[in-house]
Amino acid sequence: MNAVLKVYKWELLKLRAQKRTYLGLGAAVLVPIAFVVALSLQKGGPNDIPLGRYIRDTGLALPFVVLFFMSFWAFPLITALVAGDVVASESHNNTLKTILTRSRDRGQVFAGKALAALTYTVLVVVAMATVGLIAASIKWGFKPLTSLSGTKVAAGQGVVLLVASLAVYVLPLAGIACFGLLLSTVTRNSAASVVGTLMFALLMQLIGALPGTEPIRPYLLSTQFSAWHGFLRTPADWEPVIRAFWVCALYVAAPLAGAYLVFLRRDVAGE
């Protein structure tokens, strides 16, 4: 375990030293600020999306609204930016041979990389929500939130709901991250992995939007991005939340296992 933690630590330090890390993180932080600025300058609002109507009532509503908007391609892209690169960049720099000829087994190296990619995914979502909450609260105040059922939720309770919502929201992103990790491992090409991962996320949405796909919609990765709605109902609706857990577990496990096996067995030759 210590060995995996050492690898994980260095994966995070490597992310800290790379520009693309800040590209994604910067975007995640700028989007909620842009929302606050735009809504301050205009009268209209995103009235037809969950909690959009209450966005000027309390700073608590904004992070939820941005979660909705960023689920289409922004968060999938930011996630793919790092997850799709985390193994492929080693191929690009030819450094896989450097780290695989030390005293860490391939499985440990892979585990450290997967953990780092997932950490980044969690980090960008938390960063967006935190910045959004602070910026919007400065503008509109930290007041009680109106739930999706129309009931008032105290501001403190609203924060708890936000944290719970973020926890469920990162599950489908973890699925996307693991798909990115698989492409990164298999293609050894960063650009192909990032684009491929985004295509995968968009394809899920496309399938969900096609007529006649209703029976499979609950099991699509894209559907799980709205599982947090369950928390904002009174009483809480646990069904979408529980489904998000097991559906995303499958979307995480399958590509992760595939990537692991490929990484374990692959030939590290001139790339």
Q: What are the b/e assignments for 116-126, b being 16+ CB within 10 Å?
A: bbbbbbbbbbe
Please tell me whether residue 270 binds other proteins under the rule CB under 8 A.
yes
Contacts to other proteins from residues 35-94, by CB under 8 A: 93-94
Instruction: With H, G, I as helix, E, B as strand and everything else as coil, classify residue 235.
Output: coil
List C-alpha distances in Å: 106 to 94, 149, 180, 182: 16, 50, 19, 15
Cβ proximity to other proteins: between 15 and 70 the closer is 15
Please tell me whether residue 13 binds other proteins under the rule CB under 8 A.
yes
CB 87, min distance to other proteins, A: 14
Site size toward other proteins, by CB under 8 A: 27
Site string for other proteins, 88-107 (x = CB under 8 A): -----xxx-xxxxxxxxxx-
Which H or E run contains 152? strand 152-153
Please tell me whether residue 261 binds other proteins under the rule CB under 8 A.
no
Please tell me whether residue 17 binds other proteins under the rule CB under 8 A.
yes
Cβ proximity to other proteins: between 93 and 149 the closer is 93
| 246/256 Cα distance (integer angstroms) | 15
Cβ proximity to other proteins: between 96 and 198 the closer is 96
CB-based contacts of 62, cutoff 8 Å, min separation 6: 32, 35, 36, 55, 132, 133, 135, 136, 140
Please tell me whether residue 1 binds other proteins under the rule CB under 8 A.
no
List C-alpha distances in Å: 64 to 105, 134, 176: 41, 13, 20
**Strand partners of residue 145:** 153
Sign of the Cα pseudo-torsion (158, 160, 163, 166, in order): negative
CB 264, min distance to other proteins, A: 10
CB 44, min distance to other proteins, A: 44
Asked if residues 237 and 230 have their Cβ atoms less than 8 Å apart, the reply is yes
Among 12, 14, 50, 199, binds other proteins (CB under 8 A): 14
Please tell me whether residue 217 binds other proteins under the rule CB under 8 A.
no
Please tell me whether residue 9 binds other proteins under the rule CB under 8 A.
yes
Q: Which residues bind other proteins (CB under 8 A)?
A: 3, 6-7, 9-10, 13-14, 17-18, 93-95, 97-106, 265, 267-270
